Structure 1
Amino acid sequence: MYAEPIFLQPVFKDRIWGGTKLRETFGYQIPSETTGECWGISAHTNGPSTILNGPLKGLTLDEAWQKHRGLFAGQEGDDFPLLVKILDAKTDLSVQVHPDDEYAQRVEHEAFGKTECWYIIDCEEESELVYGHHAKSKDEFQAMVDNGQWDKLLRKIKIQPGDFVYVPNGTIHAIGAGTMILETQQSSDVTYRVYDYDRKDDQGNTRDLHIKQSIEVAMIPHEDAHFQPVENKQGDLTVKKLIKESYFTVYHWALNGTAQALENPMYLLVSVLDGEGEIETQNGTSSFKKGDHFIVPSTVKKFSLKGNASFITSHSS
């Protein structure tokens, strides 16, 4: 029986808004000075992670999903459902929106729409996100876009490190400059840009906007999602359930010592935000450190942790 954590090699993405903090903060070997995204746990065709250890070493996560479904609780579906990223926004991301499953499948032939959530790893003082808008109808939304009334249209919220933001499909949103987040999302790469600050790429071209699609999929009027984090202790591990919704359940874990006989809910996605330590399963002990991404497969029913570290963990709901 396969009973050890599955460590993954991230995939990095150059972005017009990216920088170098993925290297400075996590020690990653990034491909450029404008690296915006680390796809830490991904089976998406646009950037699948590669397994680094064990009998499946060298396979992509998608290949493991297709060939070894028993590691993932036998979950059904052609596509691995979740994608975990770390984003470094040196400058503002475009204002954007994502579709639901039905629209993504019908229009984009993508397996999933995109509901996501963000844990704020770091941000500058007085940082803001675009989250929602002030239009009361699609006609009012279109009129504000046509007239370039972005300050009137877009709703902004203040953030600080440690904040958690839930972004259901249909939510108008944008990550602001100087912000680093860990994003847990459905495994989708469909994004519709509403506004991109009229900036140009290195070829002098503006990026495409998708106003028609954005208005079709956007939540109008905007409504905030409501959720209540719940915290408990398991040994020296503080577990905060940040959200449980229809696509994923996401936690923040803070380890300061030892936590034994932790139950694995199905298969657990783990990203190490800080610190280091060891995970022990029935097959032995593996070390982890800041910046590591791994999966505890469903064949590991219980495991123990030792060290001082913080994590974002998640699983399908």
Structure 2
Amino acid sequence: MYILKPESRERIWGTPRLHDYYGNQQIDKIGSVYSASGVSEIDCPVVNEEKTFSEIIAEDPKRFGLKAGDVYPLIISFTACDENLSIQVHPTDDYAQSVEQLPYGKSEAWYFIQPPEKGWIYAEQQVPEKSVLLEAAKKNEYTKILKEYPVAKHELIYIPSGTIHALTKGSLVYEIQQSSDITYRFYDYDRIDKNGKKRPLHIEKAIETLHPEKQVEKRTFPPGNIFAQREFSIQHLKGKQIVENKSEIASILTIIAGQLTIAGETCQTGQSIVLLKDEMIELPETAEAVLATPIRYWEE
């Protein structure tokens, strides 16, 4: 097994609340603490190794249940915001393969550790026609045609690729996403970044990959619960127990509360441990975690 060191990223909508999740103390507006990521843009260092997550995979991908040249198929992060995120959509598999030359698109799920201030996020459209969305784009009136989707603390929202959505102010989530880390922005509230420029929008690509008929899925996610989708499965764990990776592919155990010790190394809230096939770890009574396992559905 391997312990990963999280990577923090500053965002215009970020928050200091992520300091409690291993966030970089030098960054005030942290948007995401990437607890486990092995993509080129965000590659987590391995604790006690002079290597990154992607580098240890590249040395022997079979140990991780992967093939030569594969990246780890999931990204795990803690994401939080003190302002609304941009209204956005992620590519479907078909669009990612044909336009971005990637093996899959990006579906994701959010487990709400802290709920949004107003009790809802943006998800789905009120009217399932792209033409209505295009008309809203011309007038910057997206909020009038999107659903204010209710969500509460400890609820889980699954967002399939091709679905319009946005986290809203106050949210703090455990986030699991496929590792084609592409976001197409419809609207960003005309915000100005630290360089005095508006962030780019991607309306053409966003409209092309949008599937207005798709819906998000909401459920409770109490300890002991397993949530499985085509792209991944996650299990909510709390209290003393043995955690084992029974999958052929490496799983990611992420601490969402408390801490645990492995061979003298203390792992804090916000950190992740990579469990290879058949590896086990004991979760202490005071810890809470999520075990994430990718599913290689795109090769079926």
Which residue of the other structure, out of 36, 41, 44, is the alignment partner of 1:41? 36
The C-alpha deviation readout for 1:43-95, integer Å capped at 9, x for no partner, is 01001011103xxx121111111112233135576221111111121111100
1:288 is aligned to 267
89, 93, 96: which is aligned to 1:97? 89
CA contact (8 A) 2:22 2:268 kept: no
* Mean Cα deviation higher: 285-294 or 122-131: 285-294
CA distance in 2, matches of 1:195, 1:103: 20
1:6 equivalent in structure 2 = 2
The answer to whether the Cα contact below 8 Å between 1:278 and 1:307 also exists between their aligned partners in 2 is no
Superposed CA offset, 1:221-259 (max 9, x none): 3x324577787xxxxxx4211x2122111121111xx32
Cα shift at 1:122: 1.0
Structure 1 CA distance for aligned equivalents of residues 294 and 232 of structure 2: 4
Question: How far does residue 286 in structure 1 lie from its aligned partner after superposition?
Answer: 5.7
TM-score normalised by the chain length of structure 1: 0.84
For 1:244, the aligned partner's letter is: A
CA–CA separation in structure 2 for the residues paired with 1:220 and 1:261:
39
Tell me if 1:244 matches 2:228.
yes
Are 1:224 and 2:224 matched, yes or no? Answer: no
Describe the shift of the 1:10–1:111 C-alpha distance in structure 2 as closer, same or farther (beyond 3 A): farther
The runs of 5 or more residues in structure 1 that have no matched partner are 232-237
Alpha-carbon distance change, 79 to 252 in structure 1, aligned in 2, over 3 angstroms: same
Question: What does residue range 53-68 of structure 1 map to in structure 2 within 5 Å?
Answer: 53=48, 57-68=49-60
Q: Using the alignment, how far apart are the partners of 1:264 and 1:110 within structure 2?
A: 28
- Alpha carbons of structure 1 residues 287 and 103: separation in structure 2 relative to 1, 3 Å: same
1:274 aligns with 2:257: yes
Amino acid at match of 1:315: T
Find the structure with the greater CA-based Rg. 1
Q: Secondary structure at the match of 2:113?
A: strand
**1:168-317 equivalences in 2 (<5 Å):** 168-221=160-213, 223-226=214-217, 238-241=223-226, 243-255=227-239, 258-260=240-242, 262=244, 264-266=246-248, 267-278=250-261, 287-298=266-277, 300=279, 302-317=280-295
Aligned residue in 1 for 2:298: none
RMSD over equivalenced CA pairs, Å: 2.3
Q: 1:74 to 1:31 in 2, by over 3 A?
A: same
- Which residues of 2 match residues 16-165 of structure 1 at below 5 A? 16-23=12-19, 25-53=20-48, 57-74=49-66, 78-165=70-157
TM-score normalised by L of structure 2:
0.89
Q: Distance in 1 between matches of 2:4 and 2:287?
A: 18
- Report if the CA contact (8 A) 2:110-2:174 is conserved: yes
Structure ranking higher in strand proportion: 1
* Code of the aligned partner of 2:30: T
| Distance change >3 Å, CA 244–CA 110, structure 1 → 2 | same
Within 1, Cα distance between the matches of 2:183 and 2:140? 21
Query: C-alpha displacement at 1:160, in angstroms?
Result: 2.0
The one-character-per-residue Cα deviations of 1:131-174 (angstroms, maximum 9, x if unpaired) are: 11122322222122223332321111122221101011001000
Unaligned runs of 5+ in 2: 296-300
Q: Deviations over 1:161-199 (max 9, x none)?
A: 211010110010001011111110111221100111112
CA contact (8 A) 1:14 1:31 kept: no
Q: Secondary structure at the match of 1:308?
A: coil
Aligned mates of 1:127, 1:227 — CA distance in 2? 14
Q: Quick check: 2:22–2:271 contact (8 Å CA) kept in 1? A: no
CA distance in 2, matches of 1:167, 1:30: 30
Residue 203 of structure 1: SS of its match in structure 2?
A: coil
